[in-house]
Amino acid sequence: MRIRPAAPVELAALQDIERAAGAPFRAVGMVEIAEDEPLASAVLERYRRAGHAWVAVDGADRPVAYLIGEPVDGAFHVEQVSVHPRAARRGVGRALLDHAAVRGRAEGLAGLTLTTFTEVPWNAPYYTRLGFRTLPEAELTPGLRAIRAAEAEHGLDRWPRVCMGRD
């Protein structure tokens, strides 16, 4: 598996990966998440242009997973990491997170942060296995508080969510 920057022509493929990665949410009663539209191409392009959009590719150099994020209050905040179900359970998500951590360190950032659902096995429990910890309210930075507020406005707080971090 190889990780490289996302190319402009791959943005639609990233949206397809997001749709496919969202499908398993149906099985845990989160139909609205499964049916949520992926980020718009213009948003993905903003991350790509900033140098914060990476893809994991198969042997034919086709994306099977992606990660986007940006610096938030001294850490690299993972906005989205999605793995196509065909590539799941092979360490692809872990490799993308590790890649983001290396890139973040190169930019002088102290670690990774993300927000996630607490009760979905491939969300908070997965990130805990990868060395993330739940950030208590007192440790949330202004940027993380703003992200959580935007998520709440989008209706994501219908299910329990947390901020997590990894040094």
Residue-wise pLDDT for 9-44, tens only, equals: 999 999 999 999 999 999 999 999 999 999 999 999
Q: What letter does residue 83 receive in the DSSP assignment?
A: E
For residue 77, what are the domain limits? 2-166
Q: What tokens appear for 67 in the block?
A: 């990660």
- pLDDT of 64-116, one tens digit each? 999 999 999 999 999 999 999 999 989 999 999 999 999 999 999 999 999 99
Q: What tokens appear for 7 in the block?
A: 């190319």
Q: At 146, which CATH number? A: 3.40.630.30
Using 50, 70 and 90 to split pLDDT, how confident is the model at 1?
A: confident
Cα–Cα distance for residue pair 147/141, rounded to 1 Å? 10
pTM confidence score = 0.95
> In the chain, how many domains are there?
1
Burial 41-66 (b: 16+ CB within 10 A, else e): eeebeebbeeebbbbbbeeeeebbbb
- CA torsion, points 160, 89, 38, 157, in degrees to nearest 10? 0
